[in-house]
Amino acid sequence: MPDTAVVTGAARGIGRAIATRLAREGWQVVVADLDATELQSVADETGALAVPGDTSTDAGVRHLVDTAYDHLGHVDVFFANAGIGTLKGLDASDDEWARTLETNVLAHVRAARHLVPRWLDAGGGRLVVTASAAGLLTMLGDAPYSVSKHAAVSFAEWLSATYRHRGIVVQAICPQGVQTRMLDGSGPLKDLLTLDATLTPDEVADAAWRALATDQFYVLPHPEVSGYYEQRAAHPDAWLAGTNRLQQKLDHQAQTSTTPTQENA
C-alpha cells in the first residue's frame, strides 16, 4: 500500500475528510487549499504539511508538487479534489466559465504534467480525481460545473488509457449529494441533489480509501449512479426526457416561490 499523498481542496468537505482518513491510517500527507487559515487547522489536526495556494494555476501546482516531493521524498497518490460551482446556466460569464474550467479540469491537467514524468521514472503513481456524478450524468442549474466535470472524467479516462500499462493508476470519484458547503449553498437544487441518500464527507473518504486497494477507474460512493449511467448510455432520449421533467419541477418551484399571492400582491 502506498503511504504518501497530496490532497487539494483539503480545507473542508471531502478533501478534509480524505486527508484525515489518510493520516489516521499512518500516511504522510501534504494538504493544499486557497483558505490558508482552515488549511492550517487541518494540518494541525492531522500532522500534514499545509501548502496554501491556488492549485488551478500552473505556478500553484508546480509549487505544490515540488514542495511535496521535498517534504515527502516521493508522492504515491495525488488527490485532485479541489472544485467549484457557479449555480448558473447561460447567464454564467466568460470569467466564471474560465475559472470553473481552470479549477475543475485544467488543474488536473497541470498536476499530471508535473507528476506523470516523475511517476514514470519511479515505476508508478496514482491520480485520484474528484469528478462528481455530474461528470457521468449532468448537473441541472449549473452549466459550467456540469461541463467541467464531464471534461474532468474525460481527461482522467484519457490519462488511464494512455499510461495504465506503465504503472499509472487513475481513478475518478463520482458522488452525488454530499454534506458540504457546496451542497448547503445549492439553493433550489438541494432537493434534487438529495433525492438519493446524502453522504457525509467521511463516507466518501471511506470509499476513496477502499478504492486505493484496487485499480478500478470509477469510484461510486452512491452505487445507484451506476444504474443511472447505464440508463443514460442505453436510452439517451428517455434519460434526457426524464432529466427535463426534473428541470420542469425546478422551474415550477422557482415560479411558485417568486409569484406573489393575491393577498400580498
- Indicate which residues carry an active-site annotation: 145
On whether the CB atoms of residues 108 and 127 are closer than 8 A, the answer is yes
Compute the CA torsion angle 207, 208, 213, 219 (nearest 10 deg): 80
Nearest residue to 14 via CA among 205, 186, 221, 185:
205
DSSP secondary structure string for all residues of 209-236: HHHTTS--SEE-SSTHHHHHHHHHHH-H
CA distance 47 to 32: 13
User: Three-class SS of residue 168?
Assistant: strand
Half-sphere exposure at residue 197, Cβ-oriented, CA atoms within 13 angstroms: 11
On whether the CB atoms of residues 69 and 94 are closer than 8 A, the answer is no
What pairing do the DSSP bridges indicate for beta strands 49-52 and 77-80? unpaired
Compute the CA torsion angle 35, 41, 43, 47 (nearest 10 deg): 180
Size of the chain in residues: 265
What is the 3-state secondary structure of 97-155? HHHHHHHHHHHHHHHHHHHHHHHHHHCCEEEEEECCHHHCCCCCCCHHHHHHHHHHHHH
